[in-house]
Structure 1
């Protein structure tokens, strides 16, 4: 038993940022449970959060991948909306006046949605990995491009009235657990395995830590970055499908505040904005923290505008804290080397 605990301690808890985030998560949970136990500390609220956490968590994981390489993908929300719109348009077109649709067409629609996500990721890959466009400028441009195309094709209107079978994914349960939450866990495990147990994942960290050295590796930095933005597009499209399934609609301007929220989550989750370090566990925990804060604000009947302000405040605080801790670490390393 002690040996198992020791392995756990040297594994997950060895990361100081994860340990701090776990403590912060627990404190947030206990404080909100105490302040608003009649609303926050209820099974209905926890179930509601379990349906809401996955979509932003998957988008944040997609953003995390690009930030691990020292870049950023601002187009994740527009990609998710585009994928959801394409899938929803296929389903509603094939449904006609009936309320049901064969599972075959639902699968085809979802596949087409993910293809849209991969193609959008490929555009980012070409701009960033091949043409060396700065990631923030490239994805800002593609975000605007994808949003414009989506709004132009739908005249700014949402596509609603999706088939019931499709809605079960976003609103159903799997052995009593919300299906979106189960999908999020599978995606988190898959991405965690990718970045920690595969050659591509190790190269992702290498690119973020030292891109010059990564240029001389077997795969090369350009190929690694191209794969990262392709996978980011795929994950964004999966998030879009889950959102469409949960809300029974797809809109070209859904989740306009999600990009800021995703950035806050990724930075709060311990991902280095300069690249080279980050964990899926940290992103999931940070998502849970901010979702608990959002639910707490609703329970206490605070304005959502204050929640947006809180997101910006958290981002500023975490960035300042990271800078201070990094300077302390560097100063300690220098002092230690001078003593030796």
Structure 2
């Protein structure tokens, strides 16, 4: 009975946060549609946003997984850049040998890029899960390590001139829908199924909610955390490949502000920074909101520095609201228990 009640309360909490985000998304949409004099509300702007949303959304989902366990992965951007550089290096070198690069080598390059992401995730897994290093310190160190390796590989230069077949993934369409957006939906559905419908996924929430209880589970908390950082590395590498495909280049310092943006998105999306609660739907909606803000600022010709300030401001406001609402909920529970 208590277990059913707990699941029911969790569902209500998820619905409430998603409802709040949907209202916030609608308000943001109507505000920018009104103040931009119909420039925001155009099909070309929506298509542009659909190409830009997936890369940061996938990185945010990767970050969400680590935060569900009560940790954090600051190395997601460095991993995505490293994966993109390895794949791009393979493709450009093979293009030098032949004018037309075969699809086989493009697939091999992408597989090697994802392997880089998994290996990077394995390093994080060993540090956090096996050696019990604090996640923020471990991933800060690996962020610097992976970034340094990426810069050393290319001497700080970007790799450009990628094959046209590869660029079609990041700039093409699938039944009229931007291909990156379709890939994002597929990845979001897969991760949503993983955390909500699999035993390992449910244990991710258990680790974030009660680490002690997770230690005595069949799999154990260390294995759960190890899998989370491995999957985070894989998702980061996929985001890196999509970015390289869209921009036709890979750079060791691309998206330097993406880690802050991903943190803002995850917190805005309703993920508890202490672990134990979060939804993929919330992360996607939060990504859409911030992308609309970025597009609106660009249309209104606001400085991008104001957008960075807006990110920090949103993060502070959301954290304050979370603390206030949590304290109010706690006080109501205490008052109710005293009355009974």
Is the TM value for this pair above 0.5?
yes
Residue 308 of structure 1: how far off its partner (Å): 0.2
Residue 98 of structure 1: how far off its partner (Å): 5.1
Residue 301 of structure 1: how far off its partner (Å): 0.3
The alignment partner of 1:13 has SS state of helix
Is this contact kept in 2: 1:265–1:286, CA < 8 A? Answer: yes
Which runs of 5 or more residues in structure 2 are unaligned? none
Is this contact kept in 2: 1:266–1:286, CA < 8 A? Answer: yes
> How many Å separate the matches in 1 of 2:3 and 2:139?
46
Residue 38 of structure 1: how far off its partner (Å): 3.0
> How many Å separate the matches in 2 of 1:126 and 1:231?
14
Deviates more, 1:97-106 or 1:215-224: 97-106
Residue 16 of structure 1: how far off its partner (Å): 1.0
| Distance change (3 Å), C-alpha of 1:7 and 1:185 | farther
> How many Å separate the matches in 2 of 1:310 and 1:333?
34
Residue 338 of structure 1: how far off its partner (Å): 1.0
Residue 2 of structure 1: how far off its partner (Å): 28
Pairs within 5 Å for 1:106-255 = 106-255=106-255
> How many Å separate the matches in 2 of 1:4 and 1:331?
23
RMSD (Å), alpha carbons = 3.5
| Distance change (3 Å), C-alpha of 1:46 and 1:23 | same
Is this contact kept in 1: 2:53–2:288, CA < 8 A? Answer: yes
Residue 8 of structure 1: how far off its partner (Å): 14
| Distance change (3 Å), C-alpha of 1:8 and 1:54 | farther
> How many Å separate the matches in 2 of 1:209 and 1:148?
35
> How many Å separate the matches in 2 of 1:267 and 1:10?
17
Is this contact kept in 2: 1:13–1:19, CA < 8 A? Answer: no
Pairs within 5 Å for 1:1-340 = 15-96=15-96, 100-340=100-340
The alignment partner of 1:73 has SS state of coil
Q: Which digits, 9 at most, give the CA deviation of each residue in 1:281-324, with x for residues without a partner?
A: 00000000000000000010000000000000000010010000
| Distance change (3 Å), C-alpha of 1:5 and 1:225 | closer
| Distance change (3 Å), C-alpha of 1:115 and 1:12 | farther
Residue 9 of structure 1: how far off its partner (Å): 14
Is this contact kept in 2: 1:157–1:251, CA < 8 A? Answer: yes
Which runs of 5 or more residues in structure 1 are unaligned? none
Question: TM-score of the superposition, structure 2-length normalised?
Answer: 0.96
Residue 205 of structure 1: how far off its partner (Å): 0.2
Residue 37 of structure 1: how far off its partner (Å): 3.5
> How many Å separate the matches in 2 of 1:222 and 1:8?
28
| Distance change (3 Å), C-alpha of 1:212 and 1:4 | closer
Residue 7 of structure 1: how far off its partner (Å): 15
Is this contact kept in 1: 2:84–2:244, CA < 8 A? Answer: yes
The alignment partner of 1:14 has SS state of helix
> How many Å separate the matches in 2 of 1:90 and 1:16?
47
Is this contact kept in 2: 1:67–1:275, CA < 8 A? Answer: yes
> How many Å separate the matches in 2 of 1:56 and 1:50?
11
> How many Å separate the matches in 2 of 1:194 and 1:299?
38
Residue 93 of structure 1: how far off its partner (Å): 0.5
Is this contact kept in 1: 2:66–2:229, CA < 8 A? Answer: yes
Q: Which digits, 9 at most, give the CA deviation of each residue in 1:19-39, with x for residues without a partner?
A: 101100000001111111332
Q: Which digits, 9 at most, give the CA deviation of each residue in 1:47-78, with x for residues without a partner?
A: 00000000000000000000000000000000
Is this contact kept in 1: 2:125–2:227, CA < 8 A? Answer: yes
The alignment partner of 2:113 has SS state of helix
Residue 339 of structure 1: how far off its partner (Å): 1.1
Aligned length: 340
| Distance change (3 Å), C-alpha of 1:69 and 1:55 | same
Is this contact kept in 2: 1:269–1:283, CA < 8 A? Answer: yes
| Distance change (3 Å), C-alpha of 1:62 and 1:130 | same
Q: Which digits, 9 at most, give the CA deviation of each residue in 1:154-213, with x for residues without a partner?
A: 000000000000000000000000000000000000000000000011100000000011
Residue 100 of structure 1: how far off its partner (Å): 2.9
Residue 14 of structure 1: how far off its partner (Å): 5.6
> How many Å separate the matches in 1 of 2:143 and 2:14?
37
> How many Å separate the matches in 2 of 1:332 and 1:182?
43
